Structure 1
Amino acid sequence: MSTVFVERVIVSVVFGLAGLAKVLALAFETEAFVRWGFPVGFMYFIGILEIAGALGVWMRKLAPFAALCLAVLTVGAVATRLIFAEWVAAVVTAGVLAITLHFVWQKRRELFPH
């Protein structure tokens, strides 16, 4: 089993479940977005993007772009966690960001062909 495969599974499961929680408007997600001052519609939008990215990492030509987009979303998530002093969540989210960026790095030749 390759590193790329393991990272692909981690990225797709983490973002797929996170996106599903947002799209289903689970209480903890709705409460968090309200606490952060974001509209609930933004939560649905982020959830849809996360689900699309989770599916996209399994599509050969789309995988590096999908992961890069997920990484950009995750930078925003880390920033939000830091702004609201949610330190443990910020560290966990930064770990997900690191895995996602490593996946992008592994697929960089597909992202930027010579």
Structure 2
Amino acid sequence: MTSTSTGRRIGSLVLRGLLTALFVAAGGMKLAAVPFEVAGFTRFGYPLWFMYTVGVVQLLGAALLWGRATAAYGALLLAAVMVGAAFSHVSAGDPVAMALPALAILGLLLGLAYARRGDAIPASFRVSQA
């Protein structure tokens, strides 16, 4: 294993660890109905069942980040959540700066999905370079 592949592997582990911590915390707060989460979803005009659904999706996405064949799918699932978060802030009339954290996380998730895309394709479907 080269130092470049070792660095990429460590970088992927660190990124997945940070994203997992972020989404487990965010999903847990939604499922626990933390007051500021309830207030946010109410302000955006969403029903509370949707807050619980987003919380479950965040926890599911965080778990999927750790499977070799599922990491890209987990990152894409969480990326969709971040698109929704950014859209919600902009639609609610918040300053664009309120959507920037969601957009930054979206970028990290899309980069992770791109980096792990080959792991999500079964070997039987891969085109060989013969």
TM-score, normalised with respect to structure 1:
0.92
Q: Separation in 2 of the partners of 1:19 and 1:85?
A: 24
Instruction: Tell which has more relative contact order, 1 or 2 (C-alpha 8 A, sep 6+).
Output: 1
How far is the alpha carbon of 1:93 from its aligned partner? 0.8
Q: Separation in 2 of the partners of 1:3 and 1:89?
A: 27
- For 2:110, give the aligned amino acid: L
Number of the residue aligned with 2:66 = 58
Q: Identity, % of aligned pairs? A: 30
- Please tell me whether the aligned partners of residues 68 and 120 of structure 2 are also in contact (alpha carbons under 8 angstroms): no
Runs (5+) with no aligned partner, structure 1: none
- Please tell me whether the aligned partners of residues 36 and 84 of structure 1 are also in contact (alpha carbons under 8 angstroms): yes
How far is the alpha carbon of 1:112 from its aligned partner? 4.0
Number of the residue aligned with 1:5 = 13
- For 1:30, give the aligned amino acid: V
Please tell me the root mean square deviation across aligned C-alpha atoms, in Å: 1.4
- Please tell me whether the aligned partners of residues 74 and 93 of structure 1 are also in contact (alpha carbons under 8 angstroms): yes
How far is the alpha carbon of 1:98 from its aligned partner? 0.7
CA deviation vs aligned residue, 1:21-55 (integer Å, no higher than 9, x gap): 10000000000000110000000000001011111
- For 1:107, give the aligned amino acid: R
Among 47, 51, 54, the alignment partner of 1:39 is: 47
How far is the alpha carbon of 1:103 from its aligned partner? 0.7
Among 19, 23, 26, the alignment partner of 2:31 is: 23
Moved over 2 A (4+): 85-89, 111-114
Number of the residue aligned with 2:107 = 98
- For 1:108, give the aligned amino acid: R
- For 2:78, give the aligned amino acid: L
CA deviation vs aligned residue, 1:9-28 (integer Å, no higher than 9, x gap): 12111111110110000000
**Count of residues in Structure 1 that have an aligned counterpart in Structure 2:** 114
How far is the alpha carbon of 1:92 from its aligned partner? 0.8
- Please tell me whether the aligned partners of residues 7 and 100 of structure 1 are also in contact (alpha carbons under 8 angstroms): no
